Structure 1
Amino acid sequence: MTATEDRPQMLVEEFERIAVAADREGVRLEFIHGKPGVKAVSDGDHDEIVRRVMEHCMQQRPDLWLYPERGPKVEAYRKGHAKPDGALAPRGSFAGQGEWADADRVLMVLEVTSYDTDTDRRDREDKPRVYAEAGIPVYLLVDRDSCEVLVHSEPEGGVCGALVRRPFGREVRLPQPVGVVLDTEALRSWVR
């Protein structure tokens, strides 16, 4: 790694100002490992997958809510800002907080891969690490390219100690503190 890769490309405060303006224009920005990035706008199939996961969570854990695109502060010292497709937390967890909220009450983040060139690095490499650094217990990745669900859990020291992979069509158990079972059969309908 070079010296410039270790330093942020901008300060988090600068990113926050830019992100507010971009959001008004319909552009979703993230700030991970000191670098700003654009998150692809979702398609209808993507939205159906988020809805399906939300439905399972609401049925099995009515005390929780899957907040769409809630932006938790992530990474060491909260210097990163992510826009997951969903953040599962107890109802009311984000009341009184701004666009970028503390991740302390988030039990799980959900990401659904997009069909863009940045998905591999962002969703499969960067996100497991930054969510683990933030201490978020579960990272659920619905990977539409490989037609599988990946459950990262047991974060410690900035890495997830456990990874479970299940192909679409199989049930997947989300570990505690989530405690939800997802039926992934319907996910097959929402891939290219």
Structure 2
Amino acid sequence: MEESPKVSIVATSHHHHELPDTPYNLWTRDELADLIDLPHDGTRVEIIGGEIVVSPGPDYAHNAIIRTIQKQMFAAELANPAYPWRCITTQDVVLSEIHDGYIPDLCFLSKKDDREARETQIKKLSPRHLALAVEVTSPGNARNDRRPGPGRSGPTKWSGYARVGVPYYLLVERDPAAPMTTLFTCPDTFAGVYEESVRWRFGDEIRLPKPFGLVIPTDEWEPWQRGQSS
């Protein structure tokens, strides 16, 4: 059920904006970015834990990690025309159950859902479309991708994906203090937590289990530069 319209006051870039509706409702209607005067330069706006979160466009090393994962997916498709998975980058996902709106770095969908999304020209996916969500951390907003902890005690994308039942969440942590990739599984939708996980260090091969069956090399993945905020 959609929230009742109300006036919200938010501050971005030292400016205060009076919003005519809830941030979630505005985000779902693609009105939020313009109302808070975001530049059209790759800056993203999401609703995480009910809060407006604005993030700058990612750096090249971040995007190169996404490219590596996509490359392995495309290779699997070419090797096996019946391979049942597809991927899409930076696609809006509306989490209506918790009134959040995310833009994952990469989404894995079934071949059937991918075809349906293209044919209906869908603008925002729902969690039921996501077999796996991928997030790659960047300085300044990594705390929004991780499980709640230092820097963000409230709900994060980690808890949001679990809450709506996304079965697999792949988090690529680029913090130079501990660069690694974690696959979270077995979401507890009531508690909003993932109960199982497996990790790989940068340089190791990631082996995504069935139903994906992908092997992803990470030897060229780079953490962000030391001294940048996390």
TM over 0.5: yes
Q: Distance in 1 between matches of 2:101 and 2:179?
A: 27
How many residues are paired up?
Answer: 181
Unmatched tracts of structure 2, length 5 or more:
1-7, 10-21, 78-82, 148-155, 226-230
Where in structure 2 are the equivalents of 1:58-77 lying within 5 Å? Answer: 58-61=74-77, 62-74=83-95, 77=97
Is residue 87 from structure 1 mapped to residue 87 from structure 2 by the alignment?
no
Question: Hey, what does 1:149 align to over in structure 2?
Answer: 181
Distance between the aligned counterparts of 2:55 and 2:121, measured in 1?
22
1:29-178 matches, within 5 Å, as 29-61=45-77, 62-74=83-95, 77=97, 79-90=99-110, 91-95=114-118, 96-116=120-140, 118-120=141-143, 122-125=144-147, 126-145=156-175, 146-157=178-189, 158-178=192-212
- Give me the TM-score of the superposition, normalised by structure 2: 0.70
Compute the TM-score of the two structures, normalised by the length of structure 1. 0.82
Rg: which structure is higher?
2
Distance in structure 2 (CA, Å) of the matches to 1:77 and 1:35: 15
Residue range with higher mean Cα deviation, 30-39 or 62-71: 62-71
Of 24, 38, 49 in structure 2, the residue corresponding to residue 12 of structure 1 is 24
Aligned partners of 2:45 and 2:130: how far apart in 1? Answer: 20
1-structure distance, mates of 2:86, 2:58: 20
Q: Which has the higher helix share?
A: 1
- 2:152 — aligned with what? none
Give the deviation of 1:78 after TM superposition. Answer: 5.0
Shift of 1:20: 6.2
Which SS does the other structure have where 2:187 is aligned? strand
Render the CA deviation track for 1:41-61: whole Å, top value 9, x for unaligned: 111111111000111122235
Is the CA contact (8 Å cut-off) linking 2:88 and 2:107 kept in structure 1? yes
